[in-house]
Amino acid sequence: MPIMESYAGAWQQNVEVDARGVLANPFIFRCQAMIARDISKLRVKLMTKDGAIWKETTSAAFSPVLRKPNAYQTRNQFWESYFLSKLSRGNTYVLKQRDARRVVTRLHVLDPQRVTPLVSDSGEVFYQLATDNLASLEVDVTVPASEIIHDRWNCLFHPLVGLSPIWANGVAATQAQKISESSTQFFANQSRPGGILSAPGKISDETAARLKAAFETNYSGENAGKIAVVGDGLSFNPLTVAADDAQLVEQLKWTSETIATTFGIPHYKIGLGAMPTANNLEALNVEYYSQTLQGLIEDAESCLNEALGLDENTTRSEFDLDGLLRMDSATQMETLKTGVGAGIIAPNEGRAKFGYGPVAGGEMPYLQQQNYSLEALAKRDAQPDPWGAGQPARPAAPEADDEAGEMAERAFVAETLLAMRKAMEAA
Protein backbone atom coordinates (compact mmCIF):
# COMPACT_ATOMS: atom_id res chain seq x y z
CA MET A 1 0.00 0.00 0.00
CA PRO A 2 1.71 3.25 -1.11
CA ILE A 3 2.07 6.24 1.18
CA MET A 4 0.48 9.12 -0.72
CA GLU A 5 1.13 12.86 -0.33
CA SER A 6 4.75 12.63 0.85
CA TYR A 7 4.85 16.43 0.86
CA ALA A 8 2.37 19.23 0.22
CA GLY A 9 1.29 19.18 -3.42
CA ALA A 10 2.91 15.84 -4.18
CA TRP A 11 -0.36 14.39 -5.52
CA GLN A 12 -0.56 17.17 -8.12
CA GLN A 13 2.85 16.14 -9.42
CA ASN A 14 2.04 12.41 -9.39
CA VAL A 15 4.69 11.85 -6.71
CA GLU A 16 4.14 8.98 -4.31
CA VAL A 17 6.32 7.07 -1.86
CA ASP A 18 6.12 3.34 -2.43
CA ALA A 19 6.50 1.75 1.02
CA ARG A 20 7.71 -1.57 -0.40
CA GLY A 21 10.35 0.12 -2.55
CA VAL A 22 11.46 2.36 0.32
CA LEU A 23 11.90 -0.63 2.63
CA ALA A 24 14.56 -1.89 0.22
CA ASN A 25 16.72 1.14 0.98
CA PRO A 26 19.88 -0.28 2.65
CA PHE A 27 19.94 2.31 5.43
CA ILE A 28 16.25 1.90 6.30
CA PHE A 29 16.78 -1.86 6.28
CA ARG A 30 19.84 -1.49 8.52
CA CYS A 31 18.14 0.89 10.99
CA GLN A 32 15.09 -1.32 11.40
CA ALA A 33 17.02 -4.57 11.57
CA MET A 34 19.56 -3.23 14.08
CA ILE A 35 16.96 -1.82 16.48
CA ALA A 36 14.77 -4.93 16.31
CA ARG A 37 17.71 -7.31 16.76
CA ASP A 38 19.25 -5.34 19.63
CA ILE A 39 16.00 -5.37 21.60
CA SER A 40 15.11 -8.97 20.75
CA LYS A 41 18.36 -10.24 22.27
CA LEU A 42 17.32 -8.85 25.67
CA ARG A 43 15.63 -11.43 27.86
CA VAL A 44 12.25 -10.50 29.35
CA LYS A 45 12.17 -11.04 33.11
CA LEU A 46 9.21 -11.31 35.46
CA MET A 47 9.87 -9.06 38.46
CA THR A 48 8.14 -8.95 41.85
CA LYS A 49 8.43 -6.30 44.55
CA ASP A 50 9.90 -7.42 47.87
CA GLY A 51 9.65 -4.43 50.16
CA ALA A 52 11.46 -1.66 48.32
CA ILE A 53 13.45 -4.08 46.12
CA TRP A 54 12.46 -5.57 42.77
CA LYS A 55 13.56 -9.21 42.37
CA GLU A 56 13.24 -11.67 39.51
CA THR A 57 10.67 -14.39 40.04
CA THR A 58 8.80 -17.10 38.15
CA SER A 59 5.08 -17.76 37.80
CA ALA A 60 3.19 -20.72 36.39
CA ALA A 61 0.72 -18.29 34.83
CA PHE A 62 3.09 -15.77 33.22
CA SER A 63 6.61 -17.24 32.85
CA PRO A 64 5.77 -19.80 30.11
CA VAL A 65 4.41 -17.21 27.67
CA LEU A 66 7.43 -14.96 28.29
CA ARG A 67 9.81 -17.83 27.48
CA LYS A 68 7.84 -19.11 24.45
CA PRO A 69 5.23 -16.64 23.12
CA ASN A 70 3.79 -19.08 20.56
CA ALA A 71 4.38 -22.45 18.92
CA TYR A 72 6.16 -21.24 15.77
CA GLN A 73 8.49 -18.50 17.08
CA THR A 74 11.26 -18.34 19.61
CA ARG A 75 11.36 -15.48 22.08
CA ASN A 76 13.90 -13.64 19.93
CA GLN A 77 11.94 -14.12 16.73
CA PHE A 78 8.73 -12.92 18.38
CA TRP A 79 10.25 -9.67 19.63
CA GLU A 80 12.07 -9.09 16.36
CA SER A 81 8.81 -9.31 14.38
CA TYR A 82 7.11 -7.20 17.08
CA PHE A 83 9.49 -4.29 16.65
CA LEU A 84 9.89 -4.64 12.88
CA SER A 85 6.14 -4.16 12.58
CA LYS A 86 6.24 -1.04 14.72
CA LEU A 87 9.28 0.41 12.94
CA SER A 88 8.01 -0.24 9.42
CA ARG A 89 4.29 0.49 9.90
CA GLY A 90 4.08 2.51 13.10
CA ASN A 91 1.76 -0.09 14.67
CA THR A 92 2.16 -3.53 16.23
CA TYR A 93 -0.91 -5.69 16.72
CA VAL A 94 -0.61 -8.79 18.90
CA LEU A 95 -3.51 -11.20 19.34
CA LYS A 96 -3.83 -12.81 22.77
CA GLN A 97 -4.81 -16.46 23.00
CA ARG A 98 -6.22 -17.61 26.35
CA ASP A 99 -6.89 -20.94 28.02
CA ALA A 100 -9.96 -21.99 30.00
CA ARG A 101 -8.70 -20.00 32.99
CA ARG A 102 -8.60 -16.83 30.86
CA VAL A 103 -4.83 -16.80 31.29
CA VAL A 104 -2.82 -15.64 28.26
CA THR A 105 -0.88 -18.62 26.92
CA ARG A 106 -0.01 -17.51 23.35
CA LEU A 107 0.86 -14.22 21.66
CA HIS A 108 0.67 -13.74 17.86
CA VAL A 109 2.09 -10.72 16.01
CA LEU A 110 -0.39 -9.89 13.23
CA ASP A 111 0.18 -8.33 9.82
CA PRO A 112 -0.60 -4.62 10.44
CA GLN A 113 -2.08 -4.28 6.94
CA ARG A 114 -4.72 -6.88 7.83
CA VAL A 115 -5.92 -5.18 11.03
CA THR A 116 -8.33 -2.24 11.22
CA PRO A 117 -9.08 -0.35 14.47
CA LEU A 118 -12.78 0.42 14.98
CA VAL A 119 -14.48 2.81 17.39
CA SER A 120 -18.13 2.38 18.36
CA ASP A 121 -20.59 5.21 18.94
CA SER A 122 -20.10 4.77 22.68
CA GLY A 123 -16.31 5.09 22.34
CA GLU A 124 -15.43 1.42 22.75
CA VAL A 125 -12.47 0.18 20.69
CA PHE A 126 -12.57 -2.97 18.56
CA TYR A 127 -10.23 -4.49 15.99
CA GLN A 128 -11.26 -6.07 12.72
CA LEU A 129 -8.88 -8.96 11.95
CA ALA A 130 -8.47 -10.60 8.56
CA THR A 131 -7.82 -14.32 8.11
CA ASP A 132 -4.51 -15.51 9.58
CA ASN A 133 -3.84 -19.24 9.81
CA LEU A 134 -0.83 -18.87 12.11
CA ALA A 135 -2.98 -17.02 14.63
CA SER A 136 -5.82 -19.57 14.21
CA LEU A 137 -8.06 -16.99 12.51
CA GLU A 138 -9.92 -19.05 9.91
CA VAL A 139 -12.36 -16.24 9.04
CA ASP A 140 -12.48 -12.48 9.38
CA VAL A 141 -13.43 -11.55 12.91
CA THR A 142 -13.89 -8.46 15.09
CA VAL A 143 -12.53 -8.62 18.63
CA PRO A 144 -12.60 -6.18 21.56
CA ALA A 145 -9.51 -4.19 22.52
CA SER A 146 -8.99 -6.43 25.55
CA GLU A 147 -7.82 -9.22 23.23
CA ILE A 148 -5.27 -7.13 21.32
CA ILE A 149 -1.96 -5.56 22.24
CA HIS A 150 -1.76 -2.39 20.15
CA ASP A 151 1.67 -0.79 20.46
CA ARG A 152 1.89 2.38 18.36
CA TRP A 153 3.96 5.53 18.19
CA ASN A 154 4.01 8.91 16.42
CA CYS A 155 0.20 9.17 16.61
CA LEU A 156 0.13 12.58 14.96
CA PHE A 157 -3.36 12.41 13.47
CA HIS A 158 -5.30 9.87 15.56
CA PRO A 159 -4.57 8.17 18.91
CA LEU A 160 -5.20 4.73 17.38
CA VAL A 161 -3.11 5.24 14.23
CA GLY A 162 0.66 5.24 14.56
CA LEU A 163 3.10 6.47 11.93
CA SER A 164 6.39 4.86 10.97
CA PRO A 165 9.55 6.97 10.63
CA ILE A 166 9.22 6.14 6.92
CA TRP A 167 6.48 8.77 6.83
CA ALA A 168 9.19 11.35 7.58
CA ASN A 169 12.08 9.86 5.59
CA GLY A 170 10.11 8.53 2.62
CA VAL A 171 11.04 11.41 0.33
CA ALA A 172 14.74 11.07 1.21
CA ALA A 173 14.58 7.31 0.66
CA THR A 174 12.78 7.79 -2.67
CA GLN A 175 15.45 10.27 -3.73
CA ALA A 176 18.16 7.74 -2.85
CA GLN A 177 16.26 5.12 -4.85
CA LYS A 178 16.08 7.40 -7.89
CA ILE A 179 19.78 8.24 -7.58
CA SER A 180 20.64 4.55 -7.41
CA GLU A 181 18.48 3.76 -10.45
CA SER A 182 20.04 6.62 -12.39
CA SER A 183 23.53 5.53 -11.40
CA THR A 184 22.79 1.95 -12.43
CA GLN A 185 21.67 3.08 -15.86
CA PHE A 186 24.54 5.54 -16.06
CA PHE A 187 27.21 2.91 -15.43
CA ALA A 188 25.38 0.28 -17.51
CA ASN A 189 26.15 2.56 -20.43
CA GLN A 190 29.81 2.70 -19.37
CA SER A 191 29.29 6.26 -18.13
CA ARG A 192 28.42 7.39 -21.68
CA PRO A 193 25.52 9.84 -21.30
CA GLY A 194 22.79 10.30 -23.90
CA GLY A 195 22.73 13.33 -26.12
CA ILE A 196 21.69 14.90 -29.43
CA LEU A 197 22.76 14.05 -32.96
CA SER A 198 22.75 17.25 -34.96
CA ALA A 199 23.36 18.01 -38.64
CA PRO A 200 24.44 21.35 -40.13
CA GLY A 201 21.62 21.29 -42.66
CA LYS A 202 18.01 20.20 -42.95
CA ILE A 203 17.25 16.47 -42.96
CA SER A 204 13.98 14.65 -43.49
CA ASP A 205 12.03 12.95 -40.71
CA GLU A 206 12.76 9.56 -42.22
CA THR A 207 16.51 10.23 -42.24
CA ALA A 208 16.40 11.50 -38.63
CA ALA A 209 14.51 8.41 -37.45
CA ARG A 210 16.92 6.11 -39.26
CA LEU A 211 20.01 7.82 -37.79
CA LYS A 212 18.51 7.77 -34.30
CA ALA A 213 17.65 4.07 -34.48
CA ALA A 214 21.06 3.19 -35.87
CA PHE A 215 22.87 5.17 -33.16
CA GLU A 216 20.81 3.66 -30.31
CA THR A 217 21.28 0.14 -31.65
CA ASN A 218 25.01 0.35 -32.26
CA TYR A 219 26.27 2.67 -29.51
CA SER A 220 24.03 2.30 -26.41
CA GLY A 221 23.55 -0.34 -23.72
CA GLU A 222 26.09 -3.13 -24.07
CA ASN A 223 27.54 -1.44 -27.17
CA ALA A 224 28.32 1.79 -25.33
CA GLY A 225 31.93 2.81 -25.73
CA LYS A 226 32.30 1.64 -29.32
CA ILE A 227 33.69 4.06 -31.88
CA ALA A 228 30.95 5.94 -33.71
CA VAL A 229 31.59 6.99 -37.31
CA VAL A 230 29.21 9.71 -38.47
CA GLY A 231 29.23 11.60 -41.72
CA ASP A 232 27.57 14.50 -43.43
CA GLY A 233 28.72 16.85 -40.65
CA LEU A 234 26.74 15.06 -37.91
CA SER A 235 27.84 15.81 -34.34
CA PHE A 236 26.96 14.23 -30.97
CA ASN A 237 26.25 16.53 -28.01
CA PRO A 238 25.85 14.78 -24.60
CA LEU A 239 23.00 15.98 -22.39
CA THR A 240 23.01 13.94 -19.15
CA VAL A 241 24.83 15.62 -16.26
CA ALA A 242 28.09 13.88 -15.39
CA ALA A 243 28.35 12.06 -12.08
CA ASP A 244 30.83 14.58 -10.64
CA ASP A 245 28.51 17.48 -11.47
CA ALA A 246 25.53 15.77 -9.89
CA GLN A 247 27.49 15.15 -6.63
CA LEU A 248 25.82 11.78 -6.19
CA VAL A 249 27.94 10.78 -3.22
CA GLU A 250 27.01 13.90 -1.26
CA GLN A 251 23.34 13.49 -2.12
CA LEU A 252 23.32 9.85 -1.06
CA LYS A 253 25.08 10.76 2.20
CA TRP A 254 22.44 13.39 2.94
CA THR A 255 19.58 10.95 2.36
CA SER A 256 21.27 8.33 4.56
CA GLU A 257 21.83 10.79 7.41
CA THR A 258 18.20 11.91 7.16
CA ILE A 259 17.02 8.31 7.45
CA ALA A 260 19.23 7.64 10.48
CA THR A 261 18.01 10.84 12.14
CA THR A 262 14.32 9.92 11.80
CA PHE A 263 15.01 6.57 13.50
CA GLY A 264 17.01 8.30 16.25
CA ILE A 265 20.16 6.26 15.57
CA PRO A 266 23.63 7.80 16.02
CA HIS A 267 25.14 8.06 12.55
CA TYR A 268 28.29 6.09 13.37
CA LYS A 269 26.14 3.09 14.32
CA ILE A 270 25.20 2.49 10.67
CA GLY A 271 28.53 3.39 9.10
CA LEU A 272 27.98 7.13 8.57
CA GLY A 273 30.94 9.09 9.83
CA ALA A 274 33.77 8.09 12.11
CA MET A 275 33.39 6.40 15.48
CA PRO A 276 33.72 8.73 18.50
CA THR A 277 37.30 8.99 19.67
CA ALA A 278 36.40 8.33 23.31
CA ASN A 279 37.26 4.73 24.15
CA ASN A 280 34.25 4.18 26.38
CA LEU A 281 31.92 1.50 25.07
CA GLU A 282 29.59 1.86 28.05
CA ALA A 283 29.01 5.56 27.36
CA LEU A 284 28.27 4.84 23.69
CA ASN A 285 25.81 2.09 24.62
CA VAL A 286 24.08 4.35 27.16
CA GLU A 287 23.70 7.02 24.45
CA TYR A 288 22.29 4.45 22.01
CA TYR A 289 19.92 3.09 24.65
CA SER A 290 18.58 6.46 25.82
CA GLN A 291 18.35 7.96 22.32
CA THR A 292 17.05 4.98 20.34
CA LEU A 293 15.94 1.97 22.38
CA GLN A 294 14.56 3.20 25.71
CA GLY A 295 11.24 4.53 24.47
CA LEU A 296 10.52 1.41 22.41
CA ILE A 297 11.46 -0.90 25.30
CA GLU A 298 9.36 0.90 27.90
CA ASP A 299 6.37 1.04 25.54
CA ALA A 300 6.59 -2.72 25.02
CA GLU A 301 6.91 -3.36 28.78
CA SER A 302 3.79 -1.30 29.51
CA CYS A 303 1.80 -3.05 26.79
CA LEU A 304 2.94 -6.48 27.99
CA ASN A 305 2.09 -5.71 31.63
CA GLU A 306 -1.41 -4.65 30.65
CA ALA A 307 -1.86 -7.63 28.33
CA LEU A 308 -0.95 -10.15 31.04
CA GLY A 309 -2.99 -8.36 33.70
CA LEU A 310 0.03 -7.56 35.90
CA ASP A 311 -0.28 -5.07 38.74
CA GLU A 312 2.77 -2.89 38.10
CA ASN A 313 2.90 -1.94 41.78
CA THR A 314 3.74 -5.52 42.74
CA THR A 315 4.63 -7.46 39.56
CA ARG A 316 5.93 -6.35 36.20
CA SER A 317 7.80 -7.49 33.10
CA GLU A 318 11.21 -6.05 32.38
CA PHE A 319 13.79 -6.38 29.60
CA ASP A 320 17.20 -7.43 30.92
CA LEU A 321 19.44 -4.54 29.87
CA ASP A 322 22.60 -6.44 30.85
CA GLY A 323 22.49 -7.89 27.35
CA LEU A 324 23.58 -4.53 25.94
CA LEU A 325 26.92 -4.85 27.77
CA ARG A 326 27.42 -8.59 27.43
CA MET A 327 30.53 -8.21 25.23
CA ASP A 328 31.99 -5.30 27.24
CA SER A 329 33.65 -7.43 29.91
CA ALA A 330 36.08 -4.69 30.96
CA THR A 331 33.26 -2.30 31.92
CA GLN A 332 31.35 -5.08 33.67
CA MET A 333 34.40 -6.09 35.68
CA GLU A 334 35.18 -2.51 36.71
CA THR A 335 31.54 -1.87 37.71
CA LEU A 336 31.36 -5.02 39.81
CA LYS A 337 34.74 -4.29 41.38
CA THR A 338 33.55 -0.85 42.45
CA GLY A 339 30.25 -2.25 43.75
CA VAL A 340 31.96 -4.93 45.83
CA GLY A 341 34.57 -2.50 47.15
CA ALA A 342 31.88 -0.02 48.17
CA GLY A 343 29.88 -2.67 50.02
CA ILE A 344 26.92 -2.39 47.63
CA ILE A 345 26.94 -5.99 46.41
CA ALA A 346 28.39 -9.21 47.80
CA PRO A 347 31.36 -10.89 46.09
CA ASN A 348 29.24 -13.91 45.20
CA GLU A 349 26.73 -11.64 43.43
CA GLY A 350 29.55 -10.25 41.32
CA ARG A 351 30.88 -13.75 40.57
CA ALA A 352 27.43 -14.86 39.45
CA LYS A 353 27.41 -12.13 36.78
CA PHE A 354 30.34 -13.90 35.09
CA GLY A 355 28.98 -17.40 35.59
CA TYR A 356 31.23 -18.34 38.52
CA GLY A 357 29.94 -20.28 41.50
CA PRO A 358 29.79 -18.94 45.08
CA VAL A 359 32.73 -19.15 47.47
CA ALA A 360 32.81 -19.43 51.25
CA GLY A 361 32.51 -16.05 52.96
CA GLY A 362 31.23 -14.27 49.85
CA GLU A 363 27.54 -14.08 50.73
CA MET A 364 27.59 -10.72 52.52
CA PRO A 365 28.72 -7.27 51.34
CA TYR A 366 31.73 -5.97 53.27
CA LEU A 367 33.80 -2.83 53.87
CA GLN A 368 37.23 -2.19 55.28
CA GLN A 369 37.48 -2.35 59.07
CA GLN A 370 38.50 1.28 59.62
CA ASN A 371 35.29 2.60 58.03
CA TYR A 372 32.75 3.97 60.51
CA SER A 373 29.17 5.05 59.95
CA LEU A 374 28.30 8.74 60.10
CA GLU A 375 26.01 8.01 63.05
CA ALA A 376 28.88 6.49 65.06
CA LEU A 377 31.17 9.42 64.28
CA ALA A 378 28.46 11.91 65.30
CA LYS A 379 28.08 10.17 68.68
CA ARG A 380 31.83 10.29 69.19
CA ASP A 381 32.04 13.98 68.40
CA ALA A 382 29.14 14.76 70.77
CA GLN A 383 31.20 13.66 73.78
CA PRO A 384 32.93 16.27 75.98
CA ASP A 385 36.22 14.69 75.07
CA PRO A 386 35.69 13.20 71.57
CA TRP A 387 39.02 11.42 71.70
CA GLY A 388 38.21 9.70 75.01
CA ALA A 389 39.52 10.42 78.53
CA GLY A 390 42.26 8.42 80.09
CA GLN A 391 44.11 7.58 76.93
CA PRO A 392 47.70 6.53 77.46
CA ALA A 393 50.22 9.31 77.15
CA ARG A 394 52.16 9.33 73.92
CA PRO A 395 55.81 8.41 74.51
CA ALA A 396 58.60 10.50 73.19
CA ALA A 397 59.37 10.02 69.53
CA PRO A 398 61.92 7.22 69.18
CA GLU A 399 65.08 7.45 67.22
CA ALA A 400 64.85 6.09 63.69
CA ASP A 401 67.32 3.33 64.46
CA ASP A 402 65.91 2.45 67.86
CA GLU A 403 64.05 -0.90 67.51
CA ALA A 404 62.54 -0.65 70.98
CA GLY A 405 61.21 2.82 70.16
CA GLU A 406 59.53 1.52 67.02
CA MET A 407 57.83 -1.24 69.00
CA ALA A 408 56.64 1.29 71.57
CA GLU A 409 55.25 3.47 68.80
CA ARG A 410 53.28 0.54 67.38
CA ALA A 411 51.94 -0.34 70.83
CA PHE A 412 50.81 3.25 71.33
CA VAL A 413 48.93 3.27 68.02
CA ALA A 414 47.21 -0.03 68.89
CA GLU A 415 46.20 1.20 72.34
CA THR A 416 44.89 4.45 70.90
CA LEU A 417 42.73 2.67 68.35
CA LEU A 418 41.41 0.32 71.03
CA ALA A 419 40.51 3.23 73.29
CA MET A 420 38.69 5.01 70.45
CA ARG A 421 36.66 1.91 69.64
CA LYS A 422 35.66 1.39 73.30
CA ALA A 423 34.62 5.01 73.61
CA MET A 424 32.45 4.79 70.50
CA GLU A 425 30.87 1.54 71.63
CA ALA A 426 30.10 3.07 75.03
CA ALA A 427 28.45 6.03 73.31
Residue 60 lies in a domain: yes
182, 318: one domain: yes
Question: Helix (H, G, I), strand (E, B), or coil: what is residue 10?
Answer: coil
Residue 348 lies in a domain: no
At residue 267, the pLDDT reads 87
220, 312: one domain: no
Residue 305 lies in a domain: yes
Residue 9 lies in a domain: yes
Least confident segment among 34-43, 126-135, 253-262: 253-262
Amino acid at 4: M
Amino acid at 94: V
At residue 303, the pLDDT reads 96
At residue 139, the pLDDT reads 93
The domain containing residue 217 runs over which residues? Answer: 194-239
403, 291: one domain: no
Residue 347 lies in a domain: no
At residue 65, the pLDDT reads 95
Residue 221 has pLDDT above 70, yes or no: no
42, 60: one domain: yes
At residue 93, the pLDDT reads 97
148, 279: one domain: yes
Residue 338 lies in a domain: no
394, 263: one domain: no
Percent of the chain with pLDDT over 70: 73
Out of 211, 239, 267, a domain closes at 239
pLDDT digits (tens, 9 = 90+) for 44-100: 999 999 888 899 999 999 999 999 999 999 999 999 999 999 999 999 999 999 999
Confidence tier at 423 by pLDDT (50, 70, 90):
low
Residue 404 has pLDDT above 70, yes or no: no
Q: What is the number of domains present in the chain?
A: 3
152, 253: one domain: yes
Q: Can you name the residues that pair with 54 across neighbouring β-strands? A: 49
Least confident segment among 105-109, 296-300, 322-326: 322-326
The pLDDT mean for the chain works out to 80
- CA–CA distance, 279 with 157 (Å, rounded to integer): 43
202, 257: one domain: no
Out of 239, 273, 308, a domain closes at 239
Residue 130 has pLDDT above 70, yes or no: yes
88, 147: one domain: yes
pLDDT digits (tens, 9 = 90+) for 339-379: 888 778 888 888 887 778 888 888 888 777 777 777 888 88
Residue 337 lies in a domain: no
Q: Can you name the residues that pair with 127 across neighbouring β-strands? A: 117, 143
Q: Which residue has the higher pLDDT, 61 or 330?
A: 61
Q: Which residue has the higher pLDDT, 174 or 414?
A: 174
- CA–CA distance, 322 with 326 (Å, rounded to integer): 6
198, 187: one domain: no
262, 409: one domain: no
Nearest to 410 by CA among 369, 402, 368: 402
Residue 354 lies in a domain: no
- CA–CA distance, 349 with 126 (Å, rounded to integer): 47
108, 254: one domain: yes
